[in-house]
């Protein structure tokens, strides 16, 4: 037991899990365990921190271990993460840390090796360098390269796909966790927001915690904090811009609905009888009133509203006539 070296771990020890393992040891009797810990050839712990701690608390002097030979520091970190991931024990926060510290660096390193190998192959093909130089200057395997541009027939995968395969979370979800972490550590945001981010990050330390809900709640709080810091005049300006943008979106959508299948359904409904036709007329009247209100607001922008009314009124009349003639599939001469 004293020979095992425990370095900084991806996961913190869970006291309840340690307790359960001790109970398992007691049930097996003696110094027995169902699964050995894993160490490298230097006796650095790769997997089994909870089992090791439980054995220490139980007073063991020896523990069963699987020793892996030729394991690098990068391999050891990857093996630790993989062991926990396969057992579904990593929380969203731990998965994000694993992606940023283990999987993504390995992904980019493989991409760089592949890029270097591809460049060297090109020089070899053109005869710029010889085969001996090629074999001595290029390392890594082309078969396990992961590109950063997408998926191709050779089996190369994109960064988002690599993130999903490695952690089970989308790259967007991982980035949301990164944003929450950044807010929790930022000195440039209000303390209230920073504390909210810390609480959100704490929620994500549980396996399966809902990342989207935590991120959305924090964004709302961040927006409220931003708005609270604005001068009232600036806040009012932004609110008016939002109202104007909303009006453009909603009226554009309404126009598209009337021009599409919805308009056809209204026409079919209006043929059901006298009452239905009156309902269609009511729609027209309401739209006309809305148009008139818009014309009034537009004309009020001019110091002399009546001069603009003539111009805007002519434009409205012309557009209404042209659109109606087109919709009825008539010629202009038919109307005259």
The values of phi and psi at residue 262, to 5°, are -60, -40
Neighbours of 7 (CB within 10 A): 11
Q: Of 146-150, 184-188, 196-200, where does mean pLDDT reach its minimum? A: 146-150
Which pLDDT band holds residue 141 (cuts at 50, 70, 90)? very low
- For residue 142, give the DSSP letter: G
- For residue 44, give the DSSP letter: B
Q: Residue 316's Cα: distance from chain center in Å?
A: 45
Secondary structure (3-state) at 32: coil
Q: Provide DSSP, 176-240.
A: HHHHHHHHHH-SSS-HHHHHHHHHHHHHTTSTT--HHHHHHHHHHHHHHHHHHTS-HHHHHHHHH
Residue with tokens 């504390």: 195
User: 183: alpha, beta or left, given left = phi > 0 and alpha = psi -120 to 50?
Assistant: alpha
Positive or negative CA dihedral for 236, 238, 242, 248? positive
Secondary structure (3-state) at 65: strand
Q: How far apart are CA 173 and CA 210, in angstroms?
A: 10
Quick: pLDDT tens for 16-28.
878 878 887 877 7
Quick: pLDDT tens for 214-264.
999 999 988 888 877 778 888 788 889 999 999 999 999 999 998 888 888
Positive or negative CA dihedral for 323, 324, 328, 334? negative
pTM listed for this prediction: 0.47
Quick: pLDDT tens for 77-100.
777 666 665 555 678 998 898 888
Q: How far apart are CA 164 and CA 162, in angstroms?
A: 5
Q: How far apart are CA 259 and CA 266, in angstroms?
A: 11
Q: How far apart are CA 335 and CA 325, in angstroms?
A: 8
Q: How far apart are CA 164 and CA 107, in angstroms?
A: 13
Quick: pLDDT tens for 156-166.
668 888 888 87
The values of phi and psi at residue 151, to 5°, are -100, 140
How buried is 166 (Cβ within 10 angstroms: 0-12 exposed, 13-18 middle, 19+ buried)? Answer: buried
Mean pLDDT of 70-78: 74
Rounded CA Rg of the chain = 34
The values of phi and psi at residue 10, to 5°, are -65, -40
Contact assessment for residue 114 and residue 104, using Cβ atoms and an 8 Å cutoff: no
Contact assessment for residue 10 and residue 81, using Cβ atoms and an 8 Å cutoff: yes
Q: How far apart are CA 96 and CA 200, in angstroms?
A: 14
Q: How far apart are CA 38 and CA 119, in angstroms?
A: 39
pLDDT value of position 173: 94
Sheet holding 45-47, edge to edge: 45-47, 37-40, 65-68
């Amino acid at each position: 037991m004293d020979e095992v070296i425990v370095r900084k771990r991806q996961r913190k020890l869970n006291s309840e899990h340690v307790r359960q393992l001790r109970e398992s040891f007691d049930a097996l009797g003696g110094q027995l365990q169902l699964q050995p810990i894993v160490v490298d050839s230097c006796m650095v712990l790769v997997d089994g921190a909870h089992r090791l701690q439980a054995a220490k608390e139980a007073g063991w002097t020896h523990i069963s271990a699987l020793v892996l030979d030729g394991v690098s520091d990068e391999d050891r970190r990857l093996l630790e993460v993989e062991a926990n991931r396969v057992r579904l024990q990593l929380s969203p926060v731990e998965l994000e840390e694993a992606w940023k510290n283990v999987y993504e660096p390995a992904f980019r390193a493989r991409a760089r090796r592949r890029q270097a190998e591809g460049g060297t192959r090109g020089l070899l093909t053109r005869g710029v360098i010889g085969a001996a130089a090629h074999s001595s200057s290029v390392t890594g395997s082309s078969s396990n390269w992961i590109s950063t541009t997408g998926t191709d027939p050779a089996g190369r995968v994109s960064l988002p796909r690599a993130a999903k395969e490695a952690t089970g979370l989308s790259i967007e979800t991982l980035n949301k966790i990164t944003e929450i972490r950044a807010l929790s550590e930022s000195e440039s945001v209000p303390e209230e927001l920073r504390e909210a981010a810390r609480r959100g990050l704490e929620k994500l330390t549980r396996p399966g915690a809902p990342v989207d809900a935590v991120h959305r709640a924090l964004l709302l709080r961040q927006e409220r904090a931003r708005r609270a810091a604005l001068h009232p005049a600036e806040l009012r300006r932004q609110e008016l811009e939002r109202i104007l943008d909303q009006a453009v979106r909603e009226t554009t959508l309404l126009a598209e609905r009337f021009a599409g299948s919805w308009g056809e359904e209204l026409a079919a409904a209006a043929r059901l009888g006298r009452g239905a036709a009156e309902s269609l007329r009511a729609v027209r009247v309401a739209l006309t009133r809305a148009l008139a209100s818009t014309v009034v607001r537009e004309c009020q922008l001019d110091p002399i509203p009546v001069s603009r009314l003539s111009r805007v009124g002519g434009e409205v009349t012309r557009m209404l006539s042209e659109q109606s003639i087109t919709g009825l599939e008539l010629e202009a001469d038919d109307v005259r």
